[in-house]
Copies of this chain bind each other. A is one copy, B any other.
Amino acid sequence: MIKKIKVGVNGFGVIGKRVADAVTLQDDMELVGVSDVVTDWRIKMAAHKGYSVYSSNPEAKEQMTKAGLEIMGTLEDLLKKVDVIVDATPKGIGAKNKLLYDQQKVKSIFQGGEKHELTGFSFVAQANYKEALGRDFVRCVSCNTTGLTRIVHALHQNGLVKKVRAVLFRRGTDPWESHKNGLINTVVPEKDIPSHQGPDVKTILPDLEITTIAASGPFNLSHLHTIFVELNRIVTKEEIVAIYRQTPRVVMIKKSEGLEGLNSTIELMRDLERPRNDMWEVALWEDILAVDGKELMMVYQVHNESIVIPENIDAIRAITSLETDARASIAKTDHSLGIVSNFL
């Protein structure tokens, strides 16, 4: 029998609830429990699914109990029972939690909202799995950085990239909080160029020349990236397409097959009956992709809510050395979640 790694999830939000679900699909992991501070439908859904619910602090425990939830203990209690804690708390909270995780000698995985410096190591499975082996803590980078890394690493490992210039159009807000936040009829460019994703990709691929500009618009189905890659040599479109056909977690789609915009692929996910319409893969438009001499230009879609989920699962395997081969871990995760290389 395979040894099962005991996993806890702190923060049952957009990422945390998906990580928890994904952990339950792994035959080499066991979800011990999830921890949060909220008292409403979100955490009640965890109880409904049969997950053991913990409170992230004692005050929250009182409130959550009052709200009718059965609380198994506090985060400290949960930490005593797990090998790995996946921290999916809001930006900045993870940094505070790390002290506790380290004290309790529990390996920890953080999300892209935390700074690279918190762990000194940022992770995208297909780019640097081996370097994550046995570490005590790693950071899964944000949705945009994960998608961007998958796309550029495929070219970079083939020695093709001179410089990457990418423009990221971010969804205005997440669907679950569209009632309170969100942009209406405007686009808001980010204050700084480069936006954080370019430098963040360099935490994974330090020798990559990359710069990014980002803006947010009034849509929440996912992000859209457009990218110019200045190559070291002249390539054909066929050569590039062949590379991406071999790239994990990148799926080619076509405008000519009616996949016109962000909404089309999400509708496809609905028809495929995926949990929460999730698209863990980067969707790359094959027929928009263009090559002009040494210049490669592409448009692709990044499903912000779900793209980092497989990375979190692989990170659990890597830091516990449960699986030392990147390909094997990726294949296992992909099989468990239903990640494909073609949607149809």
Contacts and interface: CB of A to CB of B under 8 A. Distances in A.
A184 B262 CA distance: 11
A192 B288 contact: yes
A189 B224 CA distance: 9
Contact of A219 (B185, B193, B228, B287): B185
Nearest to A266: B186
Interface in A189-229: 189-194, 211, 213, 215, 217-221, 224, 226, 228
B221 A185 contact: yes
Given A169-B169, A218-B218, A262-B186, A288 B191 contact: yes
A135 interface: no
Contact of A186 (B191, B192, B194, B221): B221
A260 B219 contact: no
A228 B288 contact: no
Contacts of A221: 185-186
A242 to B, nearest CB: 19
14 contacts: A165-B228, A186-B262, A186-B264, A187-B224, A188-B260, A188-B261, A189-B299, A190-B288, A193-B290, A193-B299, A194-B290, A213-B297, A217-B217, A217-B219
B292 A213 contact: no
A219 B224 CA distance: 15
A255 B191 contact: yes
A289 interface: yes
B169 A217 contact: yes
A210 B189 CA distance: 22
A190 B295 CA distance: 18
Interface residues of A, number: 41
Interface of A: 165, 167, 169, 183, 185-194, 211, 213, 215, 217-221, 224, 226, 228, 255, 260-264, 285, 287-290, 292, 295, 297-299
Nearest to A228: B165
Contacts of A290: 192-194
A165 B290 CA distance: 14
Contacts of A224: 187, 189, 215
B187 A262 contact: yes
Contact of A215 (B185, B189, B226): B226
Contact of A187 (B169, B228, B255, B298): B169
Given A187-B262, A191-B287, 12 more contacts: A167-B167, A169-B217, A186-B219, A187-B224, A188-B260, A192-B288, A193-B298, A193-B299, A194-B290, A194-B297, A213-B228, A217-B217
B255 A219 contact: no
Contacts of A167: 167, 213, 226
Contacts of A285: 189
Contact of A211 (B288, B292, B299): B292
Contact of A261 (B183, B193, B299): B183
Contacts of A190: 288
A254 B289 CA distance: 34
A228 B228 contact: yes
